[in-house]
């Protein structure tokens, strides 16, 4: 069960203004809930303190799994289960196993990472996530604060933060 979340958010018109605003928020020790943007803004991750994505580690594990699956399976088939000589080559013909081993490595790594990506992001077919403003996927950059249980002073402090950093619009929403 998700609790209803009160959100106060400001929209910015440009990514450079957004980056300055995030820097200001860090300086003011404001706790940013989320930043939304229509495209990846470079230089934002370290400001928000986001740690580096670990997807590539997962990708390596999936890939290694694919390598082993393919190579060991073919080895088992041709040396144990049903040995056949093809073209005068030995049963265990490693050079001939390499193409399929490579393909399965890539296949396992790709499928594994894509599935992991959507799972950890909570995205997928049929998922509907609440959106704050329709223009966030168009040309607005958004900083959002969670305001559950905030006092009026705290809210007005956020309001002044938005006006100080050049937000073009400020609204609140319950999601």
Partner 1 sequence: MSAVVSPIREPLITGSKTYHQITEDIVSPTERVPNASWVAGFILSIATLSFGLFCIGYTIWVGIGTWDLNRTIGWGWDITNFVWWIGIGHAGTLISAILLLFRQKWRTGVNRAAEAMTIFAVMCAGLFPLIHMGRIWLAFFIFPYPNTRGPLWVNFNSPLLWDVFAISTYFTVSLLFWYTGLVPDFATVRDRAKGLRKNIYNFLSFGWTGKAKHWQRWESLSLILAGLATPLVLSVHTIVSFDFATSVIPGWHTTIFPPYFVAGAIFSGFAMVLTLMIITRKILKLEDYITVNHIESMNKVILLTGTIVGTAYLTELFIAWYSGYIYEQFAFYNRALGVYWWSYFGMMACNVLSPQIFWIKKYRRSIFITFFMSIFVNIGMWFERFVIIATTLARDYLPSSWSYYVPTWVEIGIYLGTFGLFMTLYLIFVRVAPVVAIAEVKSILKTSGDQYAQENARSNYDKMLNEKPHHEEHAH
Partner 2 sequence: MNQFTFEGREKSVLIGGMILGLVCLVLSFFIDGSPHASEIHSRFWTNFLHNAVFFTGIAFVSLFAICAAISAYAGWYAVIKRIWEAYSLFLIVGLVMMTVIVIGVWGHFHHLYHWAGEGVTTVGSETYDAVIAGKSGFLNPTFYTVATIGFLSVFYFLFAVPIRRMSISEDKAGTADYAIHRKIKVYAAAFLPIAAFSSCALIWLWMMSIEPHWYSTMYAWYTTASWFVSALALTLLTIIYLKSRGFLVDVTDEHIHDLGKLLFAFSVFWTYLWFSQFMLIWYANVGEETTYFKTRRDEYPVLFFGNLIMNFGLPFLILMRNDTKRKFGTVGFAAALVLFGHWWDFFYMIKPGVIKELSHAEGAHGALPSVAGFDYPHLLELGIFIGFLSLFFYFVFNQLTKATLRPAGDPYYAESIHHHS
Residue 126 is a binding residue for partner 1 (CB under 8 A)? yes
Residue 53 is a binding residue for partner 1 (CB under 8 A)? yes
Phi, psi of 143 (to 5 degrees): -110, 130
Q: Which stretch binds partner 2 (CB under 8 A): 74-82, 92-100, 125-133, 135-143?
A: 92-100
Phi, psi of 33 (to 5 degrees): -80, -45
Query: Cα 121 from chain centroid?
Result: 6
| Relative orientation angle of helices 15-27 and 152-164, to the nearest 10 degrees | 140
Under DSSP, the state recorded for 172 is E
Query: Cα 98 from chain centroid?
Result: 32
| Minimum distance, C-beta of residue 95 to partner 2, in the bound complex (Å) | 5
Give the residue, chosen from 48, 98, 114, 123, that forms a contact with partner 2 under the rule CB under 8 A: 98
Give the residue, chosen from 40, 49, 88, 122, that forms a contact with partner 2 under the rule CB under 8 A: 88
Residue 87 is a binding residue for partner 2 (CB under 8 A)? yes
User: Which residues of this protein are in contact with partner 2, per CB under 8 A?
Assistant: 42, 56, 60, 87-89, 95-96, 98
């Amino acid at each position: 069960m998700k609790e209803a979340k009160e959100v106060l958010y400001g929209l910015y018109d440009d990514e450079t203004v957004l980056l300055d605003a995030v820097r200001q928020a860090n300086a003011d020790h404001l706790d940013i809930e989320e930043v939304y943007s229509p495209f990846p803004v470079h230089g934002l991750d370290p400001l928000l303190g986001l740690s580096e994505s670990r997807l590539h580690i997962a990708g390596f594990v999936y890939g290694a799994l694919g390598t082993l699956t393919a190579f060991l399976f073919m080895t088992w088939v041709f040396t144990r289960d049903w040995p056949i000589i093809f073209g005068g080559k030995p049963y265990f013909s490693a050079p001939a196993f390499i193409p399929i081993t490579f393909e399965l490595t890539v296949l396992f790594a790709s499928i594994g990472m894509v599935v992991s990506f959507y799972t950890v992001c909570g995205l997928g077919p049929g998922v509907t996530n609440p959106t704050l403003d329709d223009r966030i996927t168009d040309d607005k950059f958004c900083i959002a604060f969670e305001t559950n249980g905030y006092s009026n002073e705290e809210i007005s402090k956020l309001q002044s933060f938005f006006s100080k950093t050049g937000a073009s619009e400020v609204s609140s929403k319950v999601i």
